[in-house]
Amino acid sequence: MESILSIFIMVLLFFVVIYILPYLLIVLIPLYLIYSIYAVHRRRKMMDEQQQYYQDYQRQQNDRPYTSSKKASDDVIDVEYTETEEK
């Protein structure tokens, strides 16, 4: 008897869901579209912020004075100057 009752309840729930489904779709489809548009907007905004950050970083790197890591030529003498007090 319990199994027949549980089967009856499952069938009843199935038909209730099928009956309510068109009304749920009327609500869920616009919500899904609104969320999709929001997600695309958020992704585009994030990409714009990353691109701006990258451009600022490149600009800072280009503004720095260039320091060469090449070995100095033989014509240049490297001299360190230290100041000492005379007595």
Express each pLDDT in 26-76 by its tens digit: 999 999 999 999 999 999 999 999 999 888 888 888 887 765 555 556 677
Exposed / middle / buried, residue 13 (Cβ in 10 Å: 0-12, 13-18, 19+): exposed
pLDDT for the residue 67: 57
**Region for 79 from its dihedrals, namely left if φ exceeds 0, alpha if ψ lies in -120 to 50, beta otherwise:** beta
Question: In 1-87, which residue ranges form alpha helices assigned H by DSSP?
Answer: 2-63
